[in-house]
Structure 1
């Protein structure tokens, strides 16, 4: 009998998840899961589902002083009324009628190697299929080799890679050579024609950051470009014809922890779901337009998704735009394959 049981998350699970996700990546980055897990559980509905992995309280993998335990209801590893330990979590989100996203998979170190991650991932894939999705994607940091292996073992296949570029907000930024100019009120159909034929779209498999779900990627459609234009979020530059486009996705706010800001000061990051351009000169014009747009939104920083290609990364560098040191990977699971998600 498998020692790992997967069930829907409950509010009583929050403390346990926060406890084992507090130092997920020592010396790497701050984990967002402890900050959002309670909200995830509270928001579960037909379009999103948060799951946890559990083991019985007396499982030999657990340290003797393990805490906290939760009371089982019979759907996890323990019988109703008996204690069990929450040792893993994941969330699935339906992004569109046919796209789902898997995120926040974490496993407590003490039970790694018992298959908790794979069981969680397969369970969320089954949920996504039942919710009507035909594809489920996820994002894995390129340095997270264990996470990449786990995704492949659960049925995900390589899809694309990207980096984040970070042009500084600047109301008078001008990075091009004078040939490329920002377009006032850009035409979304012209932007769509450019995007559809761009190297960026080909490399990214048509994906951009989702407009509603942070850190998720979904297909950038003609309809989404039209909505962005109507809402003043579409940016375009031209040199005769369209030479580059970008889409503003959101502003994220968080309390600064850097030495450059006083304690309690809030950073505002302008997030751009994708940027695509024709050449290095167009990249300069586009990053300049993004910098001005971000300044107009009172942003203190930016995050712009760009394709992980030699051309795109070097074009950004040539225009003195800071680029993340490492890429992120996106993988996809074909939910039309009935074997995907099967235990």
Structure 2
């Protein structure tokens, strides 16, 4: 029987063992799972006493972002990923969230099918990578900062990535962004490591954006999906 629970520190070695070589280049899960467990945002699916899958959930106000779903290779194709996703959606409801989001790389056809099956709808495309760099632009404060962010969110229907965690993308308020970074105007409005236009920021650091330009190294583009709870 498949059961679900929060991940514990003792689960980390087993999680790392089946997430090291997810793709040709490896995976980021081994680097972040310790932090996710410490923050209480990692969950595991357990089958016959062993971890079958792992995933995480981050709450941002009334929104929840689901990330890092990985199923043990020998157990794929048995519906465990779908069951894990449905469990996390139940967790987001219990936590009081009104919307859940996640990112799926455009090339990942199986994951697109999975998230659509459980009710997620496409909202926008998010681009990520290392920016080309350039000037920092003019930074805003006070009412000007709030109005600029509110206007930008109006154009994205309320979706953005977090300034301090640019791969966490969900439905946010202006205050969610302003509490995490200061908005600046360069080629476009950007807050921390997320841009409402072309990529901007430190060329040595990952950023995300809603426009594919401005990168010296752009990774796979991702579809942002959302479901109302």
TM-score normalised per structure 1? 0.59
| Contact map agreement 2:55 2:69 (CA 8 A) in 1 | yes
Aligned positions of 1:1-343 closer than 5 A: 3-25=1-23, 27=24, 29-44=25-40, 48=41, 50-56=42-48, 84-96=49-61, 98-164=62-128, 166-169=130-133, 182-183=137-138, 185-197=139-151, 202=155, 204-213=156-165, 215-224=167-176, 226-227=178-179, 233-237=182-186, 244-248=188-192, 272-276=193-197, 290=200, 294=202, 301-307=204-210, 312-313=211-212, 316=213, 321-322=215-216, 324=218, 326-335=220-229
For 2:164 and 2:151, locate their aligned partners in 1 and report how far apart those are by CA, in whole Å.
Answer: 25
Give the total of aligned pairs.
229
User: For residues 210 and 194 of structure 1, do their structure 2 counterparts lie closer, same or farther at Cα, with a shift above 3 Å needed?
Assistant: closer
Structure 1 position 324, deviation (Å): 1.8
| Contact map agreement 2:149 2:174 (CA 8 A) in 1 | no
User: For residues 274 and 169 of structure 1, do their structure 2 counterparts lie closer, same or farther at Cα, with a shift above 3 Å needed?
Assistant: closer
Structure 1 position 54, deviation (Å): 2.0
For 1:166 and 1:122, locate their aligned partners in 2 and report how far apart those are by CA, in whole Å.
Answer: 33
For 2:165 and 2:129, locate their aligned partners in 1 and report how far apart those are by CA, in whole Å.
Answer: 20
User: For residues 91 and 234 of structure 1, do their structure 2 counterparts lie closer, same or farther at Cα, with a shift above 3 Å needed?
Assistant: same
Name the SS of the counterpart of 1:119 in structure 2. Answer: helix
Structure 1 position 235, deviation (Å): 1.4
Aligned-pair Cα RMSD in Å: 2.8
User: For residues 121 and 51 of structure 1, do their structure 2 counterparts lie closer, same or farther at Cα, with a shift above 3 Å needed?
Assistant: same
User: For residues 169 and 88 of structure 1, do their structure 2 counterparts lie closer, same or farther at Cα, with a shift above 3 Å needed?
Assistant: same
For 1:301 and 1:115, locate their aligned partners in 2 and report how far apart those are by CA, in whole Å.
Answer: 39
User: For residues 190 and 223 of structure 1, do their structure 2 counterparts lie closer, same or farther at Cα, with a shift above 3 Å needed?
Assistant: same
| Deviation per residue, 1:243-273 (Å, 9 max, x gap) | 731111xxxxxxxxxxxxxxxxxxxxxxx12
| Contact map agreement 1:207 1:219 (CA 8 A) in 2 | yes
Name the SS of the counterpart of 2:220 in structure 1. Answer: coil
Name the SS of the counterpart of 1:143 in structure 2. Answer: coil
For 2:38 and 2:165, locate their aligned partners in 1 and report how far apart those are by CA, in whole Å.
Answer: 16
Stretches of structure 1 that go unaligned for 5 or more consecutive residues are 57-83, 175-181, 238-242, 249-271, 277-282, 295-299, 336-343
| Contact map agreement 1:189 1:226 (CA 8 A) in 2 | no
Structure 1 position 217, deviation (Å): 1.3
For 1:145 and 1:223, locate their aligned partners in 2 and report how far apart those are by CA, in whole Å.
Answer: 35
